[in-house]
Amino acid sequence: MPTLPSYDELPVVPGAPKGSSWGLWGPDDRLGALNLLTPEAALAGAACVRDGAVFNLNLELELPGPPLFRRERLEHVVKDLGTIGHDDLLVNMNTQSSSQWDGFRHMRHPVVGHYNGIADEEHGVHFWARRGLVGRAVLADVERWRASAGRPIRQGEADVITVDDLQSTLDAEGVEVRPGDVLLLRTGWLGWYRSLDEPGRQGVSEGRFRAPGLERGRVAAAALWNLHISAVAADNPAVEGGPPPGPYDSETASGWRDADEAAEAMLHFSLLGLLGIPIGEMFDLDALAEHCAADGRYTALFTSAPLNLQNGVASPPNALAVK
Ligand code: UVW
C-alpha cells in the first residue's frame, strides 16, 4: 500500500486549490482513491470472510419510486419473443435513480472542473469497471450508535452526522479503518424510506431534499481523506446531508464564487472533483448491519462491478458484502 500524504500535506498542483489529490496517481489517472484497491486490499477483504454470509447491497432498481432529484423513473418492458421466451428492455434508465456510484463525470468542482484536471468526457465508469472493485469494507453503523448515545438520527430532516459521530461509531464498534478500505456509512435513511407509504415517498421526491447525512465542508473532506479510504458509500441519497446550501441546482451545479466557498458547500465537490474519492449512494446496508451487530464484526469482503459503460457518468454498484 503506498504511503499517502495527509490532507494538509497534499501538494498544491497548478490549476487546483489546496486539498486536491490531482497528479498523485499520475496525470492520466481516472481512478483516484480506487487505486488503493490493490491485490493486497482484495486479500484483506477475503480475510474477513468467516461464515460466508452474503449481503446484496443494491436497492431494487425501481426504488426510490418516484426517483429523487427529478430523475427518470425506470420502465421495465418485458418483450415477448413468441414461442422462444422473453427479453428485458430497460427504458429511461438513469444510472442514478437507485443505488449508485457517482463517477468523476457526475460533478465538477465548480471552480476548477473535474478530477485530475481531465475533461469530463474523458472520464468514465468504464475505467472503474475494467479495474473491478474488491477490498475490505468497514461498516460505520452511525444510526445504531447515535440511538445508543441517546441522540437518534432524525429522518426526514437535515440532521448532521459529524465527523465526531463517525469516529465515535467506529470506536464503539472497535474497528479501525485501514488504507484502501471501502467505508460504508449507515444513516438509517433507507429503512425509514421503505417505511413510508405512497404519498410519503411522493413527498420525499417532490419536496426540497431533506435527509440526514455527513457534515459538509473541508473538515469532513479532510477526515475522509486522512482515513485513506478507497471509496465511501452510504444508505442515504448523497452521503452528505441535505438540502445543500446556497445556489445549488442539480442541473447546473454552479453559482459559487470561489474555491473556498465551493469546498465548504458540498462534499461532492471535494470528494469527486478534488480528492478523487468515489461516492456511493442509497446502498442497502440494513441486513449487513443486523449481521454485524449480532456478531460484533464490522468488516467484510466488498465487491462491486460497475457497468462497463463507455464514459458513463455513474453506475449501479452491483455490490456485495461477504462476511
Ligand atoms: C446530490 O448531489 C444531492 O446527489 P447525487 O449525487 O445523487 O446527484
Condensed to tens digits (0 to 9), the pLDDT of residues 131-187 reads: 999 999 999 999 999 999 999 999 999 999 999 999 999 999 999 999 999 999 999
Cα–Cα distance measured from residue 256 to residue 116, given in angstroms and rounded to the nearest whole number = 20
Give, for ligand 1, the residue of 281, 313, 315 to mutate: max count of ligand atoms closer than 8 Å to Cβ.
281
Sorted by sequence, the CB contacts under 8 Å of residue 84 that are 6+ apart come out as none
Three-state DSSP state, 229: coil
Q: Which amino acid is at 48?
A: C
Which of these, 123, 128, 74, lies nearest to 101 by C-alpha position? 128
- Three-state SS sequence of 230-298: CEEEECCCCCECECCCCCCCCCCCCCCCCHHHHHHHCHHHHHHHHHCCCEEECCCCHHHHHHHHHHCCC
Nearest CA, atom 5, ligand 1: 238
| The pLDDT of residue 302 | 99
Contact 262, 9 (CB under 8 A): no
Q: Give 32 Cα–ligand 1 centroid separation in angstroms.
A: 19
Q: Are 304 and 136 in contact (CB under 8 A)?
A: no
How far is ligand 1, taken at its centre, from the CA of residue 69, in Å? Answer: 8
Tens digit of pLDDT for each residue in 29-59?
Answer: 999 999 999 999 999 999 999 999 999 999 9
Residue 140 per-residue DSSP state = E
Cα-to-chain-centroid distance, residue 107: 13
Query: 15 CA distance to ligand 1 centroid (A)?
Result: 25
Q: Residue 120: its pLDDT value, please? A: 96
| More confidently predicted of 254 and 95 | 95
Pocket of ligand 1 from Cβ distances under 6 Å: 69, 96, 102, 237-238, 242, 250, 268, 281
Distance 87 CA to ligand 1 centre (A): 31
Determine the atom of ligand 1 nearest the C-alpha atom of 268: 2
Q: What are phi and psi of 136, to 5 degrees?
A: -100, 130
Predicted confidence band of residue 261 (pLDDT cuts 50, 70, 90): confident
Q: For residue 238, how far is its CA from the centre of ligand 1 (angstroms)?
A: 5
**pLDDT tens, 109-133?**
988 999 999 999 999 999 999 999 9
**pLDDT reading at 251 higher than 80:** no
| Cell numbers linked to 283 | 446502498
Q: Which amino acid is at 106?
A: H
CA-nearest residue, atom 7 of ligand 1: 238
Asked if pLDDT for residue 257 goes beyond 80, the answer is no
pLDDT of residue 264: 86
What is the model's pLDDT at position 116? 98
Tell me: pLDDT of 316 over 60. yes
pLDDT of residue 243: 78
Q: Does the pLDDT of residue 253 top 60, yes or no?
A: no
Average pLDDT over residues 218-222: 96
Cα(125) to ligand 1 centroid in Å equals 16
User: Any alpha helices (H) in the chain, and if so which ranges?
Assistant: 39-46, 125-131, 142-148, 163-173, 189-195, 198-206, 218-227, 259-265, 267-268, 286-295
- pLDDT for position 207: 81
Residue-level pLDDT at 255: 66
CA of 145 to the centre of ligand 1 (A): 25
CB neighbour list of residue 305: distance below 8 Å, 6 or more residues apart: 129, 132, 133, 318
Mean pLDDT of 237-257: 70
Most ligand 1 atoms within 8 A of CB, residue of 96, 101, 214 to mutate: 96
The whole-number pLDDT of residue 183 equals 99
Higher-confidence residue of 314 and 263: namely 314
Tell the residue nearest (CA) to atom 4 of ligand 1.
238
Q: How many residues does the chain have?
A: 323
* Lowest-confidence segment of 77-86, 182-191, 256-265 by average pLDDT: 256-265
The pLDDT > 70 percentage for the chain reads 96
Closest residue to atom 1 of ligand 1, CA basis? 238
Angle at 236 between CA 101 and CA 108, to 5 degrees: 45
Check residue 32 and report its DSSP letter.
Answer: G
- Quick one: which atom of ligand 1 is closest to the CA of 209? 3
Are the CB atoms for 66 and 201 separated by under 8 Å? yes
How much is the mean pLDDT over the chain?
95
Residue 279 Cα to ligand 1 middle (Å): 9
- At 125 the three-state DSSP class reads helix
Ligand 1 pocket: which of 63, 107, 232 to mutate (most atoms within 8 A of CB) = 107
All three cell numbers of 30, joined, read 481516472
- Ligand 1 centre to CA of 129 (Å) is 21
Helix, strand, coil percentages in the chain from 3-state DSSP, rounded to 5: 30, 20, 50
